[in-house]
Amino acid sequence: QEDVFKKLVAHCKEYGFVFQSSEIYDGLGAVYDYGQNGVELKNNIKKYWWDSMVLLHENVVGLDSAIFMHPTTWKASGHVDAFNDPLIDNKDSKKRYRADVLIEDLMAKFEGKIDKEIEKARKKFGDDFDEAQFRETNPRVKANQDKLDEVHGRFVKALNDNDLTELRQIIVDYEVACPLSGSKEWTDVRQFNLMFSTEMGSTAEGASKIYLRPETAQGIFVNFLNVQKTGRMKLPFGIAQIGKAFRNEIVARQFIFRMREFEQMEMQFFVRPGEEMKWFEYWKEMRMKWHKSMGMGDEKYRFHDHDKLAHYANAATDVEFEMPFGFKEVEGIHSRTDFDLSQHQEFSGKKMQYFDPELNKSYVPYVIETSIGVDRMFLSILAGAYTEEEVPGKDGKSESRVVLKLPPVIAPVKLAVLPLVRKDGLPEKALEIMDQFKFDFNCRYEEKDSIGKRYRRQDAIGTPFCITVDHQTMEDDSVTIRYRDSMEQERVKISELYKIMTGHISM
C-alpha cells in the first residue's frame, strides 16, 4: 500500500498534477504547486462542490471573503488561545512529532494487525467465516483489540482532560509500536499554535500583528448579517465559500494530505436553536452522498465521530476515505452551536441576531458546518482513481497500463483529438473538430508519437474520450471515439460526438 502511495506521488509529478513548491531550491516543507493537469482537476472538484452546494440548494449562497481579517476575529473565535496541536520531540532522533497523530498511528497499527488476522481467516474459511465470532475467540485478535481499547480509552481521556503529561506517557508506554522503536527519550508535550502571523502596515504608522486565516469559516460568520440582510435570506440558510487557509503544521507528512497552505470548501448553515441536530443529520447524509457520487466505491468511505469535541461543537463527525495509508479524514461536519456568532457579538459589540418573523423574536442562530479540504479531496480522488492493469497488447501479448479512472465530470481533459498521421490534411481536420468543442469541454490536441502511445498518455491523466481522425474521416466525416476504461472503439459521425459525450459527462 505504501508502495502504491509512492507511485501515486511520482505519477502526480510525471504527469503535471502536483509539483513541490520552489523545487529548484529544494522545496518548501508541506507546500505544493498544481501543474497543468492538476489545476484543471482541482478547478473541476471546486466547481462540482460549488454547483452541488450553491446551485442545487436555493437557500445556500456564496461568498468570497479576504484572507486577512481584523486580529480580534481570531481572539473571538478562540484560535489565538486554543488553536494548538500537542508537539513532542524525540531526543535521540531529533525528530518532531504531533503527539496525537503519533498515538493515532499507534492505534492504526493495532487495527492493521487485527485486519490482517481477519483477512487471513476469511481466505481460509471462505463463505463459512463468521467475523464476529472470530473477533471474540481468536487470541491474537483479542490481545490486539484489548491493547487498542486501552490506548483509545487513555487517549480520549487525556484529550478531554487536556492532560499533556498523559499524552507523553502513552507514547512512552507503547514505545514498541512507535515508528522509532528503541528510542526512549521524549521531551515533554507542549502546545503549539498553528496560526501564521505577519505584520500589516509600516512601523511608522504603527504596524499591527495580523494572521493568515487558518480556516475560511470566520469570514462567513462576520458577514452573516451582511448576507442575510442584503440577500433577504430566511433561516435556515447557508453561506458557502472556497478559499485558501494556512496552518503551520508541526510535521509535513503524506504529500498534499497535510499542507501548510491549502484550500478549503466550507459551508455554514444557520438554523433555529434546537433544530441543529436535524440539520446535522441532513448535511451528514448530503455530504456522504456527494462523496459517493464520485464512483470510487461506497466501501471506501465511512463516518468517524470525534473523540474530543472542539470547544465550539456539540456534535462532530468526519467523512473518512480509505487512502493508501489507511482511512483518513477528508471532510468535517460540525454542529458549532451559536458559539462563533455569540463570540463575535461579544467581541465586536455588534448584534449578531436574526429576527425570525414566524416566531416574532430575535436570536443568535445555531450553525452546522461542512468543511472539506480541496487538496485532500484531490488526493483521495487520485488515490481512488489510480489503477494499474494488464490489458491486451500487440501480438496477443498482454501489457500493463496506468489509468486514472476519474469520473468524466472532473477529469482534467475531457477530450483528446488525435490525427492518425501528421499529413494529408488530418491535423487540420482534427483542429477543426477541436474548435467545435473547445468552449464546452477542455480538449487537448496531440500529434506526436504512435497512436498507442498517445492513448496511454491520455489514460495516465484520466482523459475519458480520445477522438481519432484518420483518412476515412476525410471522406465521410466519421471518427473513432475510444473509451478510456473499456478501451473500446466506436466509429461515429462528428455530428453525433457532442451528444455522446454530454451523455457520459453528466453525473
Q: Which is nearer to ligand ATP, 260 or 429 (CB)?
A: 260
Indicate the annotated binding residues for ATP.
247-249, 257-262, 329-330, 373-376
Instruction: Report residue 418: phi and psi, to 5°.
Output: -125, 115
**Residue list for the binding site:** 98, 215, 247-249, 257-266, 329-330, 369-376
Q: Cβ closer to ligand ATP: 86 or 427? A: 86
CB 375 within 8 A of CB 369: no
Q: Which residues of 7-35 are buried (b: 16+ CB within 10 A; e: fewer)?
A: ebbebbeebbbbebbeeeeeeeebbbebb
Residue type, 260: R
**Interface with ligand ATP (CB under 6 A):** 247, 249, 258-259, 262, 264, 329-332, 371-373, 375-376
- Minimum distance from residue 82 beta carbon to ligand ATP (Å): 12
Kindly tell me which of 152 and 504 has the beta carbon lying closer to ligand ATP. Answer: 152
Secondary structure E strands in 299-382: 301-305, 315-323, 326-337, 354-356, 361-363, 366-373
Strands of the 478-483 sheet, one edge to the other? 443-445, 415-419, 465-469, 478-483, 489-493
> Would you tell me how many other CB atoms lie within 10 Å of the CB of residue 143?
13
Q: How far is the CB of 259 from ligand ATP (least distance, A)?
A: 4
* CA distances, 402 to each of 120, 386, 455, 467 (Å): 29, 7, 11, 20
Closest approach of Cβ 304 to ligand ATP, in Å? 11
Tell me which residue has its CB nearest to ligand ATP. 373
User: What's the closest the beta carbon of residue 331 comes to ligand ATP, in angstroms?
Assistant: 5
Q: Which residues of 294-331 are buried (b: 16+ CB within 10 A; e: fewer)?
A: bebeeebbeeeebebeeebbebbbbbbbbbbbbbbbbb
Residue of 84, 1, 458, 5 whose CA lies nearest to 256: 5
Residue numbers belonging to the annotated binding site for substrate: 98, 215, 262-266, 369-373
Nearer to ligand ATP, 259 or 443 (CB): 259
Q: Which is nearer to ligand ATP, 215 or 470 (CB)?
A: 215
Q: Give 340 or 375: the residue with its C-beta nearer to ligand ATP.
A: 375
Q: Which is nearer to ligand ATP, 257 or 354 (CB)?
A: 257
Kindly state the smallest distance separating residue 189's Cβ from ligand ATP, in Å.
16
Give dist(CA 76, CA 338) in Å, integer. 13
Label residue 1 exposed, middle or buried (CB < 10 Å: 0-12, 13-18, 19+): exposed
Q: Closest approach of Cβ 249 to ligand ATP, in Å?
A: 5
Q: Please give the Cα distance from 144 to 107 (Å, whole number).
A: 10
Give the shortest CB-133-to-ligand ATP separation in angstroms.
Answer: 35
Cα–Cα distance for residue pair 273/206, rounded to 1 Å: 42
Kindly state the DSSP code that residue 41 receives in the 8-state scheme.
Answer: H
